[in-house]
Amino acid sequence: MPPWSAEEFEALLREKGTSYHIYHPFHVMMAEGRLTRSQLQGWVANRFYYQIAIPVKDAAILSNCSDREIRREWIQRILDHDGYAQLGDGGGIHDPGGIEAWIRLGEAVGLSRDDVTSLRYVAPAARFAVDAYINFARQRPWQEAVASSLTELFAPHIHQQRIDTWPTQYPWVDTAGLQYFRNRLTQARRDVEHGLRFTLDYFSQSRALQQRALDILQFKLDVLWALADAIMLSQCEVHIAGPRELGARAQ
Residues that bind its own copies in the complex, under the rule CB under 8 A:
25, 29, 35-36, 38-39, 41-42, 45, 120-121, 124-125, 127-129, 131-132, 135, 219, 222-223, 225-226, 229-230, 232-247, 250
* Nearer of residues 99 and 231 to its own copies, judged by Cβ: 231
Helix axes 179-202, 98-108, angle to 10 degrees: 140
Q: Name the minimum Å distance from CB 143 to its own copies.
A: 21
DSSP labels, 156-185: HHHHHHHHHHHHHH-TTS-GGGGHHHHHHH
State the Cα–Cα distance between residues 208 and 179, nearest whole angstrom.
41
* Nearer of residues 149 and 235 to its own copies, judged by Cβ: 235
Start-to-end CA span in the chain (Å): 30
| Opening angle at CA 42, ends 218 and 175, nearest 5 | 95
Q: Name the minimum Å distance from CB 244 to its own copies.
A: 5
Q: Name the minimum Å distance from CB 32 to its own copies.
A: 12
Q: Name the minimum Å distance from CB 137 to its own copies.
A: 13
Q: Name the minimum Å distance from CB 142 to its own copies.
A: 19
State the Cα–Cα distance between residues 191 and 49, nearest whole angstrom.
21
* Closest to 151 in 3D by CA, of 196, 117, 119: 196
The C-alpha R_g of the chain, in whole angstroms, comes to 19
State the Cα–Cα distance between residues 134 and 128, nearest whole angstrom.
10
Q: Name the minimum Å distance from CB 77 to its own copies.
A: 23
* Closest to 42 in 3D by CA, of 94, 103, 116, 98: 116
Q: Name the minimum Å distance from CB 55 to its own copies.
A: 19
* Nearer of residues 48 and 198 to its own copies, judged by Cβ: 48
* Nearer of residues 79 and 111 to its own copies, judged by Cβ: 111
State the Cα–Cα distance between residues 155 and 31, nearest whole angstrom.
14
Please report, as a single letter, which amino acid is at residue 107: E
* Closest to 110 in 3D by CA, of 170, 182, 169: 170
* Nearer of residues 72 and 120 to its own copies, judged by Cβ: 120
* Nearer of residues 25 and 156 to its own copies, judged by Cβ: 25
* Nearer of residues 70 and 125 to its own copies, judged by Cβ: 125
